[in-house]
Structure 1
Amino acid sequence: MRSGSLRLRLGLAAAGLIALALALAGIGLTLIFDRVLDARTADGLDRTAKLIAGQVALAPDGAPTLPREPPDSRFSTPYGGLYWQIDRPVEAAGGATLRSRSLWDRSLGTVPDAAQEPAVGDLAGPDGGRLIAVTRRVTIPDRTGPVALAVTVAEDRRDLAQSRATFLRLLVPSLGALFAALTLAMSLFVRRALAPFRTLRADLAAIHAGTRTRLPDTFPEEVRPLVADLNRLLDAQERDLERARTGAGDMAHGLKTPLAVLDALARRTEGGHPALAAEIAEQAHAMARQVERTLARARAASGGLRRKACQVAPAVAKIAGALKRLPEGEALRWEIAVSDGLAFPGDEGDLTEILGNLLDNARKWAHRRIRVSGRAEGGEAGLVLEDDGPGMSEAAIAGIARGRRWDETRPGTGFGIAIARDLAEGVGARLRLSRSELGGLKVELCWPVPAA
Structure 2
Amino acid sequence: MNSGSLRLRLGLAAAGLIALALVLAGIGLTLIFDRVLDARTADGLDRTAKLIAGQVALAPDGAPTLPREPPDSRFSTPYGGLYWQVERAGGTALRSRSLWDRSLGTLPDTSEEPAVGDLAGPDGGRLIAVTRRVSIPGNGGTVALAVTVAEDRRDLAQSRATFLRLLVPSLGALFAALTLAMSLFVRRALAPFRTLRADLAAIHAGAQARLPDTFPEEVRPLVADLNRLLDAQERDLERARTGAGDMAHGLKTPLAVLDALARRTEAADPVLAAEIAEQAHAMGRQVERTLARARAASGGLRRRACPVGPALARIVGALKRLPEGESLRWEIAVPENLAFPGDEGDLTEILGNLLDNARKWAHRRIRVSGGAEGGEHRLVLEDDGPGMSEAAIAGIARGRRWDETRPGTGFGIAIARDLAEAVGARMRLSRSELGGLRVEMRWPVPAA
Q: CA deviation at 1:274?
A: 0.8
Q: CA deviation at 1:376?
A: 2.5
> Contact (CA 8 Å) 2:430, 2:437: kept in 1 or not?
yes
Q: Structure 2: which 5+ residue stretches go unaligned?
A: none
Give the match's secondary structure for 1:351: helix
The CA distance in 2 between the partners of 1:58 and 1:115, in whole Å, is: 26
CA contact 2:255–2:284 (8 Å) conserved in 1 = yes
Count, aligned residues: 448
Q: How many angstroms does 1:42 deviate by?
A: 0.5
Question: Could you list the per-position Cα deviations for residues 363-416 of structure 1 after superposition, in whole angstroms to 9, with x for gaps in the alignment?
Answer: 221222222111223332121111222111110000000001111222221111
C-alpha distance in 2 between matches for 1:450 and 1:221: 30
Deviation of 1:266 (Å)? 1.0
Whether the 8 Å contact between 1:379 and 1:448 is mirrored in structure 2 is: yes
Secondary structure of 1:15 counterpart: helix
- Is the CA contact (8 Å cut-off) linking 2:11 and 2:182 kept in structure 1? yes
**Per-residue displacement from partner, 1:229-264 (whole Å, max 9, x unpaired)?**
111111111111211111111111111111111111
Contact 2:363 2:385 in 1 (8 A): yes
Q: Compute the displacement of 1:143 (Å).
A: 3.9
Q: Quick one: distance in 2 between partners of 1:401 and 1:94?
A: 113
Root-mean-square deviation (Å): 1.3
Shift of 1:31: 0.3
- Map Cα deviations across residues 254-285 of structure 1 (whole Å, 9 max, x no partner): 11111111111111111111111111111111
Q: Secondary structure at the match of 1:305?
A: coil
Per-residue CA deviation, residues 30-88 of structure 1 (Å, 9 max, x unaligned), is 00000000001001111111111111111111111111111111111100100000111
Kindly indicate whether the alpha-carbon contact (under 8 Å) linking 1:63 and 1:94 is maintained by their aligned counterparts in 2.
no
Distance 2:25 2:63 in 1: 52
Classify the secondary structure of the residue corresponding to 1:294. Answer: helix
Q: After alignment, is 30-39 or 328-337 more displaced? A: 328-337
Any conservation in 2 of the 1:293–1:419 contact (CA below 8 Å)?
Answer: yes
- Per-residue deviation, 1:333: 2.3
Residue 48 of structure 2 aligns to a residue whose secondary structure is helix
The whole-number CA distance in structure 2 between the counterparts of 1:433 and 1:52 is: 106
Distance in 2 (alpha carbons) for counterparts of 1:288 and 1:109: 114
Point out the more displaced range, 71-80 or 335-344: 335-344
Contact 2:206–2:302, Cα closer than 8 Å, also in 1: yes
How big is the shift at 1:312? 1.0
- 1:255 matched to 2:283: no
Q: Within 2, Cα distance between the matches of 1:222 and 1:154?
A: 64
Cα drift, residue 300 of structure 1? 1.0
Separation in 2, partners of 1:324, 1:71: 116
Q: Conserved in 1, the CA contact under 8 Å of 2:329 and 2:366?
A: yes
**Contact 2:240/2:295, CA 8 A, preserved across alignment:** no
Q: Is the 8 A contact 1:266 1:281 kept in 2?
A: yes
Contact 2:107 2:115 in 1 (8 A): yes
Secondary structure of 1:105's match? coil
Aligned counterparts of 1:144 and 1:13: Cα–Cα separation in 2: 76
Distance 2:311 2:172 in 1: 61
Tell me, yes or no, if the aligned pair for 1:241 and 1:301 is still in contact at 8 Å.
no
Bigger drift between 377-386 and 272-281 goes to: 377-386
In the alignment, is the contact (CA less than 8 A) between 1:379 and 1:450 conserved in 2?
no
- Separation in structure 2 between the aligned mates of residue 433 and residue 304 of structure 1, nearest angstrom: 27
What is residue 7 of structure 2 aligned with on the other side?
A: 7
TM-score (norm 1): 0.96
Structure 1 residue 138, shift from structure 2 partner: 1.2
Deviation at 1:327, TM superposition (A): 4.0
Worse-matched range after superposition: 365-374 or 100-109: 365-374
Residues 94, 356 of structure 1: alpha-carbon distance in 2 compared, 3 angstrom cutoff: closer
Quickly say closer, same or farther: Cα 1:82–1:447, change in 2 above 3 A: same
Q: Which runs of 5+ in 1 are unaligned?
A: none
Take 2:189 and 2:411, find their aligned partners in 1: how far apart are those partners?
A: 52
Contact preservation (8 Å) 1:62, 1:94: no
Deviation of 1:440 after TM superposition, in Å, equals 1.4
Q: Secondary structure at the match of 2:37?
A: helix
Indicate the residue corresponding to 2:302 in structure 1: 306
| Superposition deviation, residue 319 in structure 1 | 1.5
Aligned to 1:386, the other structure's residue is in SS state strand
Q: Whole-Å Cα distance in 1 between the matches of residues 335 and 140 of structure 2?
A: 118
Which piece of structure 1 moves more, 123-132 or 14-23? 14-23
**TM-superposed deviation, 1:428:** 1.6
Check whether the contact 2:204–2:303 (CA below 8 A) recurs between aligned residues.
yes
In 1, Cα distance between equivalents of 2:445 and 2:421: 15
3-state DSSP of counterpart to 1:43: helix
CA distance in 1, matches of 2:13, 2:2: 15
Quick one: distance in 1 between partners of 2:50 and 2:365?
A: 113
Contact residue 61 and residue 94 of structure 1 kept, 8 A: no
Q: 1:94 to 1:396 in 2, by over 3 A?
A: closer
CA deviation after TM superposition for structure 1 residue 313, in Å: 1.5
| TM-superposition CA deviations, 1:113-152 (whole Å, max 9, x none) | 1111111000000000000000111111124211111111
Matches of 1:204 and 1:39, distance apart in 2: 65
Please give the alpha-carbon distance, in whole angstroms, between the structure 1 residues aligned to 2:323 and 2:276. 30
User: Separation in 2 of the partners of 1:412 and 1:383?
Assistant: 23
Shift of 1:94: 7.8
Aligned: 1:132 with 2:103:
no
Deviation string 1:85-130 (CA, Å, 9 cap, x unpaired) is 0111xxxx98211100000000002111111111100000000000
Q: What is the TM-score with the length of structure 2 in the denominator?
A: 0.97
- Report deviation, 1:334: 2.0
* Secondary structure in structure 2 of the residue aligned to 1:329: coil
1:61 partner SS: coil
Residue 286 of structure 1, CA deviation: 0.9
- Check conservation: 2:350, 2:415, Cα contact below 8 A: yes
Counterparts of residues 34-433 of structure 1 (less than 5 Å): 34-88=34-88, 95-433=91-429
